[in-house]
Amino acid sequence: MKDNKNKAILLVSFLLGFGVGSLIVALITHNNGDTATWFGGIAALVAVIFVYLQLKYEQEDWNNEHKSDIEVQMLVVPAYERVGEAGGYGERDWRNLKIWAVNKKYGSGAYRFVGICKKKDYDSIKKRQFEDPERIFNKTNSLLNLIDDTKYDTSQRYETIKGRSVSETQTIDGEYLYDFLSRGESNTESFDALIIYVDPFNNPTIFEHKFKLNELRKNVDKNIGIAYDPEFLSKEEIGKIKYNNVEIKEHNFNSDAPKADLIYSICLFLINSVVEGAIGNGTYDLLKIAYRNFKQKRLFHTDSSNNKTIATAKIVITDRNNKKVNVVFEKEPTDIEWLNINDVIRHLKNGDYIVKLNENGRINIWTILEYAQYRHDQQEKK
* pLDDT, tens only, 17-31: 655 566 565 556 555
Q: Provide the CATH topology of domain 70-216.
A: Immunoglobulin-like (2.60.40)
> Which of 138, 257, 246 minimizes the C-alpha distance to 188?
246
Q: Which residue has the higher pLDDT, 192 or 241?
A: 192
Instruction: For residue 192, give every residue at least 6 positions away whose Cβ sits within 8 Å of its Cβ, in sequence order, or none.
Output: 118, 119, 120, 208, 210
Residue-level pLDDT at 26: 58
Going from N- to C-terminal start, the domains of the chain cover 2-66, 70-216, 224-381
The pLDDT confidence band at residue 343, using thresholds 50, 70 and 90, is confident
More confident residue, 323 or 61: 323
How far is residue 94's CA from residue 78's CA, in Å, rounded to a whole number?
8
* Mean local confidence (pLDDT), 167-175: 88
For the chain, what percent of residues have pLDDT higher than 70?
Answer: 65
User: Could you report the per-residue pLDDT of 307-337, keeping only the tens digit for each?
Assistant: 777 888 999 988 766 788 999 999 999 888 8
pLDDT at 174: 86
* DSSP state, residue 127: I
Residue 246 has pLDDT above 80, yes or no: no
pLDDT in tens, 267-309: 898 887 654 444 555 678 888 999 999 999 888 776 666 777 7
Q: Return d(Cα 101, Cα 143) in angstroms, integer.
A: 19
Closest CA to 157 of 114, 93, 220, 218: 114
**Strand, coil or helix: what is 133?**
helix
| Average per-residue pLDDT for the chain | 75
Contacts of 222 (CB under 8 A, 6+ apart): 244, 245, 246, 275, 278
Model pTM greater than 0.75? no
Q: Is the model more confident about 7 or about 126?
A: 126
Which residue intervals of the chain are DSSP H helices?
A: 2-28, 35-66, 122-125, 133-136, 174-182, 213-216, 235-240, 283-297, 335-346, 368-381
